[in-house]
Structure 1
Amino acid sequence: MRKEAQELYRAEKDKIVLRPFTAKYPKIAPEESYRIQLALIEMKKADGAKVVGKKIGLTSKAMQKMLNVDQPDYGHILDNMVLPDAAVFLAGELIQPKIEPEIAFILDRELTGPGVTPTQVLAATRFVLPALEIIDSRIEGWKIKLCDTIADNASSARVVLGNSPKRVEEFDLKLIGMVLEKNGDIVQTGAGGAVLGHPAVAVAWLANAVGQFGVSLGAGEIVMPGALCAATDVSAGDLLQASFDGLGTVSVRFA
């Protein structure tokens, strides 16, 4: 698995794309793909990066349809992936970026699966934030299947966090509406219920998934539960802003 992780590491560094692992290894399983991902994360940690959270991918029907998969996956958020609201980001740092609006969870206490429920997730949440995830694929043309994106750290790249924290008791996350604008034009709309029915359901799924391997979601961690709509292509010169009912706005400009 280390060879494949090294290929992904170099692809990200050198801005090149790879042939899908599922094309090279048709029988590759999710468990093997997660081992590739973990090896990749260890390489990045050796460079000085720190894990500050986790992301869940493919939680909405829109994203599952877009990438032709039928279940969620997860990846790691590193400290060098996190950007502030209204950041200006160089599009050339990525290969084929897209953007997804999400509701970020900041945990107040540890969650350890199995058996974690959405109610327990909400009780363990310090606050939520409006957020944007910038995703990218090191696989040619986004021609990915589930195991390709798992290996590629769930196609993650950057996370943009808003600066208007809200407690979860203030509203029903399922009912939060969202409008995504690109250069002033509305390009996507969505709601919290698009994320496995409720964003807290996705976080519970993650806690239980990693709990199988003796891993917990830690206090203070960022958890990105998945997109409220399909991903939107971005390029240099674009300004993306997501507005959430009751949560506020978050934006990023691509230079």
Structure 2
Amino acid sequence: MTELTHETTTIRSAARRLLEASATGTPSDPVRDLIGATDIRAAYAVQQEVNAARMATGARVVGRKIGLTSKAVQEQLGVDQPDLGVLFADMEYDAAVPVPLDRLLQPRVEAEIAFVLGADLDEGDLDLDQVTDAVHHAVAAIEICDSRIADWDIRFSDTVADNASAGGFVLGRERVPLERFVPRDTVMTMTVTGQAASAGTGADCLGDPLLALQWLARTARDLGEPLRAGQVVLSGALGPMRPAAPGAQVDVTITGLGSLSITFAEVSR
């Protein structure tokens, strides 16, 4: 009982650290000093504590994101699997309006394929055919990653606890059913003002973005929060992440899904 009480206290302390960073706009120290660098169970427990606090204030879940789909990033953080986070309604931004910076601390951007589900993924074997059939359509997306940890000084437990470093997302307008689009074969190019282009393919996302979706469906169900019809899933980066400075313009092209552009507001907090 003492050990359980200590663990619960530690998880709540880590959650409070991240919530305070969000509330004050001041990035925090890493939480791995509290929960360890590789404790997956504790890290997801912190994430659930933080997200529960958000939902208690009215935040509404609209989907999930998959992170760490790149083998290079997994090796950097010393892990051999992706992670997942929750997308809330107030995290979606309109491409026609500059992305405000008042709710972001250290934004970075990734180009991704988003899947919008047409069926629940809570029963059955969740094999690849079942998962594929559950997709209503795919759409180009820009994920706005963010970290409540100062200087992005993260290890696996830090990013998992911090809602997989989720900050926001923007969806394109072209909705494409999988009958007309093969995610694995797509080619992506992303340019951000003043930086080298980011490029990649669908195969760079765990070998196939649909395999990433399958991993998410099984893991989310194991965590007691299965994927539901209507939810948006950000399936993971197709190329390297880039920082997003105030005033930056981001232009993304994903073959088969079209193009998507956003700008960031000129003035930060």
TM-score calculated relative to the size of structure 1: 0.94
User: What residue is the counterpart of 2:229 in the other structure?
Assistant: 219
Q: Residue 251 of structure 1 aligns to which amino acid in structure 2? A: S
Are residues 186 and 18 of structure 1, via their aligned partners in 2, closer, same or farther at CA, if it must alter by over 3 Å? closer
Deviations 1:3-31 (A, max 9, x none): 32122111012111222112344366111
Deviations 1:130-174 (A, max 9, x none): 000000111121111111101000000001111110001102110
Name the Cα RMSD after superposition.
1.8
In the alignment, is residue 10 of structure 1 matched against residue 20 of structure 2? yes
User: What residue is the counterpart of 1:149 in the other structure?
Assistant: 159
Q: Residue 187 of structure 1 aligns to which amino acid in structure 2? A: A
User: What residue is the counterpart of 1:254 in the other structure?
Assistant: 264
Q: Which sits farther off after the overlay, 61-70 or 225-234?
A: 61-70
* Residue 60 of structure 1: how far off its partner (Å): 1.6
Highest Rg: 1 or 2? Answer: 2
User: What residue is the counterpart of 1:89 in the other structure?
Assistant: 99
In the alignment, is residue 119 of structure 1 matched against residue 129 of structure 2? yes
Identity %: 36
SS, match of residue 126 in structure 1? strand
Q: Which structure 2 residue ranges, 5 or more long, are not aligned? A: 1-10
Q: Distance in 2 between matches of 1:53 and 1:155?
A: 15
Q: Which sits farther off after the overlay, 121-130 or 57-66?
A: 57-66
* Residue 96 of structure 1: how far off its partner (Å): 1.2
Check conservation: 2:19, 2:50, Cα contact below 8 A: yes
Number of residue-to-residue matches in the alignment? 255
* Residue 93 of structure 1: how far off its partner (Å): 2.9
User: What residue is the counterpart of 2:48 in the other structure?
Assistant: 38
Q: Residue 52 of structure 1 aligns to which amino acid in structure 2? A: V
From 17, 21, 25, the equivalent of 2:31 is: 21
Question: Runs ≥4 in structure 1, deviation > 4 angstroms?
Answer: 65-68
Q: Distance in 1 between matches of 2:97 and 2:194?
A: 17
Are residues 130 and 184 of structure 1, via their aligned partners in 2, closer, same or farther at CA, if it must alter by over 3 Å? farther
Q: Which structure 1 residue ranges, 5 or more long, are not aligned? A: none
User: What residue is the counterpart of 1:100 in the other structure?
Assistant: 110
SS, match of residue 49 in structure 1? coil
* Residue 67 of structure 1: how far off its partner (Å): 4.7
Q: Distance in 1 between matches of 2:165 and 2:58?
A: 21
Are residues 142 and 224 of structure 1, via their aligned partners in 2, closer, same or farther at CA, if it must alter by over 3 Å? same
SS, match of residue 128 in structure 1? strand
Check conservation: 2:217, 2:226, Cα contact below 8 A: yes
Q: Residue 105 of structure 1 aligns to which amino acid in structure 2? A: F
Check conservation: 1:100, 1:135, Cα contact below 8 A: yes
SS, match of residue 13 in structure 2? helix
Are residues 75 and 191 of structure 1, via their aligned partners in 2, closer, same or farther at CA, if it must alter by over 3 Å? same
User: What residue is the counterpart of 1:60 in the other structure?
Assistant: 70
Check conservation: 2:37, 2:156, Cα contact below 8 A: no
SS, match of residue 50 in structure 2? helix
Q: Distance in 2 between matches of 1:184 and 1:248?
A: 23
Q: Distance in 1 between matches of 2:206 and 2:45?
A: 25
Deviations 1:182-228 (A, max 9, x none): 13876111111111111010011011112213331100000111000
Q: Distance in 1 between matches of 2:64 and 2:257?
A: 21
In the alignment, is residue 164 of structure 1 matched against residue 192 of structure 2? no
Q: Residue 157 of structure 2 aligns to which amino acid in structure 1? A: C
Are residues 180 and 79 of structure 1, via their aligned partners in 2, closer, same or farther at CA, if it must alter by over 3 Å? same
From 109, 127, 140, the equivalent of 2:119 is: 109
Q: Which sits farther off after the overlay, 25-34 or 186-195?
A: 25-34
TM-score calculated relative to the size of structure 2: 0.89
- Structure with greater strand percent: 1
SS, match of residue 84 in structure 1? coil
